C-alpha cells in the first residue's frame, strides 16, 4: 500500500498545481528504415501530442508523424532541442523527442537528464515524467549487414572533439587498441577534421595487422545505404563523413567471401569449449 502511494505521488503533486503531469518520451527510432523501429518507439510517437527532433529524423517517420505539431531543430543546438522538449512536457504536453538509432547512444537522452540534473530547466519541466526508449544503433545495423563483426567484446568511441578533449579521445583509442576490442567509431570526421581517424588508424596498426577488416557504413536502412569494405592498411580517411560509422575488427576478426559478397565476423572465443571440428 505504501509503495503504491509513493508511486503515484509525483502525479498527485502536479495535479495539485492544477495541470496533469507532462510526459517526455526520448525515443530512438533506429537507423533509416521503419523495419528497425521498435513497436515501443512507434507507440510512444503515436501517443505523443507533439514531436521534437532534427528534421531529417522526423521526415523518416512518414505517416506516423502526420498531423502532429513538430518542432524541427537543426543539427547542433542539441541543448536547445532538449530544453524545448522538456519545457513543453513541463507545460503538460505529451512530447516525443525523436532520435536516430538508440536514444541513449550518442543521442539526446543523456543531455535531457543532464539538463534536469543541473537545474537549467524550469521546476515544472523537472517534474515531467521522462521515459527513454532504446533502439537499434548504427553499429548494430552495420554489423548485421556484413555478418557479425561485433561477435566478441567491442567498444564505441565518438571521434567528435567538439565536446570531448582530444587527449581523452586519444586515450580511449589507445585503450581500445591495447584491449583488442572491436571498435565502432561514430562521428569519424568532417571536411575540416580528419586527423583523429588518421591517428586512430596509426594507433590500431601498432596492435593489429594491416589486413584487419574495416567497414565504412553510411545511410544505413535508407535507399542510399553504402557499405564499403576496407582494411586498416587501405582505410582512407577521405572516404568518411560525419554520417559514416566505421567498424574496425579485432585481431580475431575474419573476412570470408560468399556468393552474396564479403562477410566479416569475430568468433566468440579464442579458446573453445566445444571445438569446431
Residue 207 near residue 177, CB atoms below 8 Å: yes
What minimum distance in Å lies between the beta carbon of 120 and a copy of itself? 5
Give the separation between CA 128 and CA 51, rounded to whole angstroms.
Answer: 16
Q: Which stretch binds a copy of itself (CB under 8 A): 85-93, 115-123, 191-199, 225-233?
A: 115-123
Q: How many residues bind a copy of itself (CB under 8 A)?
A: 89
Length of the chain measured in residues: 277
Binding a copy of itself by CB under 8 A: which of 23, 24, 30, 70?
A: 30
C-alpha dihedral, 127 to 133 to 134 to 138, nearest 10°: -100
Q: Which stretch binds a copy of itself (CB under 8 A): 86-94, 125-133, 210-218, 232-240?
A: 125-133
Of 216 and 217, nearer to a copy of itself (C-beta) is 217
Query: At how many degrees (to 10) do helices 166-178 and 195-205 cross?
Result: 30
Note the Cα 190 to chain centre separation in Å. 18
Residue 123 near a copy of itself by CB under 8 A: no
Reported in sequence order, the residue ranges of 56-111 that DSSP labels E, i.e. its strands, are 70-73, 94-99
Binding a copy of itself by CB under 8 A: which of 71, 111, 237, 242?
A: 111
And the C-alpha cell for 196?
Answer: 583523429
Binding marks (x or -) toward a copy of itself, 1..20, rule CB under 8 A?
A: --------xx--x-------
Residue 106 near a copy of itself by CB under 8 A: yes
Q: Contacts with a copy of itself in 32-91 (CB under 8 A)?
A: 34-40, 43, 77-79
Q: Contacts with a copy of itself in 177-216 (CB under 8 A)?
A: 178-181
Q: Which stretch binds a copy of itself (CB under 8 A): 88-96, 169-177, 193-201, 228-236?
A: 169-177
Helix (H, G, I), strand (E, B) or coil at 203: helix
What minimum distance in Å lies between the beta carbon of 200 and a copy of itself? 13
Of the candidates 176, 127, 117, 108, the residue with the CA atom closest to the CA atom of residue 21: 127
Residue 150 near a copy of itself by CB under 8 A: yes
Give the separation between CA 139 and CA 187, rounded to whole angstroms.
Answer: 12
Residue 145 near residue 115, CB atoms below 8 Å: no
Binding a copy of itself by CB under 8 A: which of 168, 198, 211, 236?
A: 168
Q: Which stretch binds a copy of itself (CB under 8 A): 62-70, 85-93, 153-161, 227-235?
A: 153-161
Residue 127 near a copy of itself by CB under 8 A: yes
Residue 156 near a copy of itself by CB under 8 A: yes
Residue 94 near residue 21, CB atoms below 8 Å: no
Give the separation between CA 264 and CA 144, rounded to whole angstroms.
Answer: 10
Amino acid at each position: 500500500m505504501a509503495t503504491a502511494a509513493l508511486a503515484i505521488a509525483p502525479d498527485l503533486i502536479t495535479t495539485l498545481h492544477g495541470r496533469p503531469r507532462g510526459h517526455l518520451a526520448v525515443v530512438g527510432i533506429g537507423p533509416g528504415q521503419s523495419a528497425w523501429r521498435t513497436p515501443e518507439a512507434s507507440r510512444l510517437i503515436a501517443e505523443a501530442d507533439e514531436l521534437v527532433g532534427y528534421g531529417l529524423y522526423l521526415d523518416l517517420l512518414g505517416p506516423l508523424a502526420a498531423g502532429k505539431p513538430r518542432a524541427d531543430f537543426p543539427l547542433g543546438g542539441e541543448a536547445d532541442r532538449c530544453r524545448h522538449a522538456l519545457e513543453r512536457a513541463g507545460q503538460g504536453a505529451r512530447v516525443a523527442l525523436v532520435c536516430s538509432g538508440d536514444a541513449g547512444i550518442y543521442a539526446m537522452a543523456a543531455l535531457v537528464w543532464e539538463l534536469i540534473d543541473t537545474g537549467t530547466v524550469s521546476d515544472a519541466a523537472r517534474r515531467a515524467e521522462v521515459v527513454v526508449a532504446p533502439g537499434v544503433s548504427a553499429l548494430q545495423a552495420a554489423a548485421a549487414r556484413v555478418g557479425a563483426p561485433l561477435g566478441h567484446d567491442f567498444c564505441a568511441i565518438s571521434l567528435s572533439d567538439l565536446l570531448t578533449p582530444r587527449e581523452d579521445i586519444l586515450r580511449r583509442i589507445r585503450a581500445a587498441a591495447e584491449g583488442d576490442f572491436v571498435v565502432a567509431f561514430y562521428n569519424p570526421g568532417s571536411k575540416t577534421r580528419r586527423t583523429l581517424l588518421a591517428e586512430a588508424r596509426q594507433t590500431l596498426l601498432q596492435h593489429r595487422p594491416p589486413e584487419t577488416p574495416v567497414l565504412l557504413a553510411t545511410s544505413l536502412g535508407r535507399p542510399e545505404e553504402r557499405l564499403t569494405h576496407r582494411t586498416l592498411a587501405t582505410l582512407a580517411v577521405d572516404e568518411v563523413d560525419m554520417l559514416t560509422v566505421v567498424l574496425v575488427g579485432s585481431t580475431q576478426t575474419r573476412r570470408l567471401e560468399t556468393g552474396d559478397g564479403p562477410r566479416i565476423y569475430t568468433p566468440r572465443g579464442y579458446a573453445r569449449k566445444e571445438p569446431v571440428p
